[in-house]
Chains A and B, each alone.
Chain A
């Protein structure tokens, strides 16, 4: 669905990507993790055709995104971190925007709004930032596009909104779709994504499925000093240490995305060598 080869991209004073390669397939919800400024949003913008690569190739759904052809645009939906919605009611927003998305399902849209507790008769500019984001998320998922790109979608959502978000994403997903969620709030992605991509310094340092990660790594709280010493990553807690260790016993533990992220960016080569086996 998305094939990126040797992607090169720079801003005037900063190089972001100098040969990034990645393939994203349908049937997965990808969680793209990385600290601020590592290129998560830039990667999404390149995929959506909002920024053009300086070198390499980006193919999305068989299209070159940079051409911004209608056939491509009608099959992707992006929920950017900073978004714009016109000064109209939700009803009129749907009336005038949904015809551009041939697979838009108004009933689904209504269901998502109900889940988010947003009245359908609301006027967009009279809603709060978080509520407007919920409307956009609902619209994007109801558009039934093959690819949904979300850049920090949980920013601005309240606690209830974040759990509603996870529930809606899980319900909207099917094997023909690919959802890419970029976030630095890793806790929001737990129990939602089924593949993790970690970007650091403009490079993909990890691209693995949740299942494979829990097969290979174990996440636990350890009170054993020797275990902490040979852990891939550890950090002290009030009592004991949170550790990431190689899963020798074969028991699958719950993945702590925050620990996984820290372990990967502090020890990328070790993590990569574990997943090569």
Chain B
């Protein structure tokens, strides 16, 4: 058997982990379901025919994904909270890589699938209720129905709200510049990986400590950008394509663009999208190896 990765041992580890933690996982996913139901209930209470628009559904999905994903990542290594659990974890005859893969399987893959399923189960019901409510409202001759017609310029029957598809590119957010999109998914996985690494670094209160560290890094980044980077460049310009291009207006008002070779920008974007997550997983692996009781 390999000392680094053996699939039979990994299967045993996955089975053991599931059996010993199934109640905790079930409870966690029930909490997520309750949270989403509460949120949808609140949205249904909002007096608007478009309260559950596809954009709003996507917002709920991603907000829940980020919050629940980062909390669950912080809880992945709760075996490190106390010495007896740490001893039990370290002495279980499995390789560090297998233990990491087990954590990623449940914390990243299973979490993502289960969260998405729970979201759609609640979302489909909420959309149906919203459509029924809207139809009933528009069929009535109440004061509110008249207000809706006037406020939202509704002349005919109200369009049915459709269930949102969070995997469509329309869910993109613009972080850097149009065309340099980092969508929510490619922002979520690095963020979750940072919380997984934080769970290994910090034995207690990993979630809050990781937030503090990320905020400090974010602040340092902006201080560096403002004090160092922009002090070297002409005033009133702006960067884009992950700081590999700089745009500034000349005296006649024409925009001048100074750019590093395109491949550098592409490589930087590729790294932001797909590189950070594995790098943080590798860092987690080495931190697990060096960890003592």
Q: Which residues of A contact B (CB under 8 A)?
A: 45, 48-52, 68-71, 73-74, 76-78, 80, 82-88, 92, 96-97, 99-101
Contact = CB atoms under 8 A, between A and B. Distances in A.
Contacts of A51: 292-293
A137 to B, nearest CB: 15
Contact of B85 (A49, A84, A96, A99): A84
Nearest to B15: A96
Contacts, number: 71
A49 B90 contact: yes
B92 A73 contact: yes
A99 B92 CA distance: 11
B3 A70 contact: yes
A50 B89 CA distance: 10
A84 B82 contact: yes
A100 B289 CA distance: 19
B93 A50 contact: no
Contact of B93 (A74, A88, A92): A74
A83 B87 contact: yes
A78 B15 contact: no
B9 interface: yes
A69 B95 contact: yes
Nearest to A82: B84
B3 A71 contact: yes
Contacts of A88: 19-20
B12 A50 contact: no
Interface of chain A, helix or strand or loop or mixed? loop
Nearest to B17: A96
Contacts of A101: 93
B90 A68 contact: yes
Contacts of A45: 293
B287 to A, nearest CB: 14
B16 interface: yes
A222 B280 CA distance: 69
B92 to A, nearest CB: 6
Interface string B78-106: 00001111111011111110100000000
A80 B87 contact: yes
B225 interface: no
Interface string B1-45: 101001001001001100110010000000000000000000000
A136 to B, nearest CB: 10
Given A83-B88, A96-B15, 13 more contacts: A50-B86, A50-B87, A50-B91, A51-B293, A52-B290, A70-B94, A70-B95, A71-B3, A82-B84, A84-B85, A97-B16, A100-B9, A100-B12
Contacts of A100: 9, 12, 92-94
A50 B293 contact: yes
B22 to A, nearest CB: 10
Contacts of B85: 84
A44 to B, nearest CB: 10
A85 B88 CA distance: 8
A171 B164 CA distance: 67
